[in-house]
Amino acid sequence: MLRRTLLAAASSEPLRRAVTTAPQARAIVDRYVAGDTTADAVRAAGDLRAAGLLVSLDYLGEDTADAHQAADVTGRYVRLLTELSAAALTGGGCCEVSVKATAVGLLLPEHGEKTAAENIARICAAARDAGTTVTLDAEDHAAVPGALRIAAGLRPDFPGLGCVIQARLRRSQADCGVLATPGTRVRLCKGAYDEPADVAFPKRQDVDLSYVRCLRTLMAGPGYPMVATHDPRLIDIATTLALMAGRPADSFEYQMLYGIRPAEQRRLAGTGARVRVYVPFGSDWYGYLVRRLAERPGNLALLLRSLAPDPWRR
């Protein structure tokens, strides 16, 4: 219930204004977001690489309703990739980028899917020039078919283009079957959006069981699974399934979000596993922050305290 209420808050304009202008909210944002600028993102990526971790950078923003803004976001990704490459951070795909199809035009009222596909192709070309890859994030269930079609359409030209599957959605096990093809990069996560029960599993336990079913399909197949979770039980199950499938350590990876279980990220990397940290940056952090608070309602108390007037201040 609290999760649903919090996720609904993601689209509340008055709440967005209150949170984004509260100076004290910054401390919470800083836990989950690497900074506002491309320079902040490159610096965070360098620090994580120095700690032996791989990186995927996400320029925050979604649901773009204007073609100019979609082109602007695309240009920012292209410049980011150029700067990462200049800092020698992209070789072998060690720092890649994550892109939301709705941020680059998927929801435009006219030719949205075509515009998004063209913009994503530009980003993929810049990534290829830099020696790295792109992963298409998964958004709410209405955006999933378009994003998967775009990924399938671009993969012949850009085989490294990955996509994200959300275990929460009922369709996902079938999607994993379709995507379990040689070399295909698939990031499996639980799913962060509030979805209706006809398309998604409402109960946490069913989401976890679906995650394991999807994981079995991906680990047994010839693709490159990316296990995106902080859940210790699922991490153990992934490790066991990889062993049972005889997968070498470089044939799959674990992924976690910036600021969440950083000690576990380093511990896993220390075992010789490939571990990638998803690093969001940019000033449009509100929707991302609300989704993280919905996963960890304890953090909400901190945020609410930061919004309340300080009784000691006049």
Residues at the contact surface with ligand FAD, assessed by CB under 6 A: 137-138, 164, 166, 187, 189-193, 228-231, 255-257, 260-261, 278, 292, 295-296
How far apart are alpha carbons 302 and 314 in whole angstroms? Answer: 21
**CA 133 from centroid of its chain's CA atoms:** 14
- Residue among 113 and 137 whose Cβ is closer to ligand FAD: 137
Q: Which residue is nearest to ligand FAD, using beta carbons? A: 230
- The least CB distance from residue 28 to ligand FAD, in Å, is 10
**Any catalytic annotation for residue 137?**
yes
Q: Which is nearer to ligand FAD, 15 or 260 (CB)?
A: 260
Between 27 and 88, name the residue whose CB sits nearer to ligand FAD: 27
Residue 292 annotated in active site = no
Least distance from C-beta 272 to ligand FAD, angstroms? 20
Catalytic residue among 58, 137, 140, 175: 137
Q: Smallest distance, Å, CB 197 to ligand FAD?
A: 17
Instruction: Confirm if 40 and 34 have CB atoms less than 8 A apart.
Output: yes
- 285 phi and psi, to 5 degrees? -95, -5
153: Cβ contacts below 8 Å, ≥ 6 apart: 117
User: Alpha helices, DSSP H only, in the chain?
Assistant: 2-9, 13-21, 26-32, 38-50, 67-86, 112-130, 144-154, 172-179, 204-220, 232-244, 262-270, 286-295, 298-307
Query: Which residue among the candidates 155, 168, 185, 187 is catalytic per the annotation?
Result: 187
Residues in the chain: 314
253 CB-near residues (< 8 Å, 6+ apart): 54, 224, 225, 226, 227, 273, 274, 275, 276
Residue 96, φ and ψ in degrees, nearest 5: -120, -175
Helix 172-179 × helix 204-220 angle, to 10°: 10
Q: Which is nearer to ligand FAD, 102 or 255 (CB)?
A: 255
Between 82 and 251, name the residue whose CB sits nearer to ligand FAD: 251
Please state the closest distance from residue 219 (CB atom) to ligand FAD, in A. 16
Q: Among residues 17 and 204, whose Cβ is nearest to ligand FAD?
A: 204
DSSP assigned state of 62: -
Q: How far is the CB of 231 from ligand FAD (least distance, A)?
A: 4
b/e code 266-300 from CB counts within 10 Å (16+ = b):
eebbeeebbbbbbbbbbebbbbbbbbbbbeeeebb
Phi, psi of 36 (to 5 degrees): -90, -30
In the complex, minimum distance from the CB of residue 225 to ligand FAD, in angstroms, rounded to a whole number = 12
Residues classed as catalytic? 137, 187
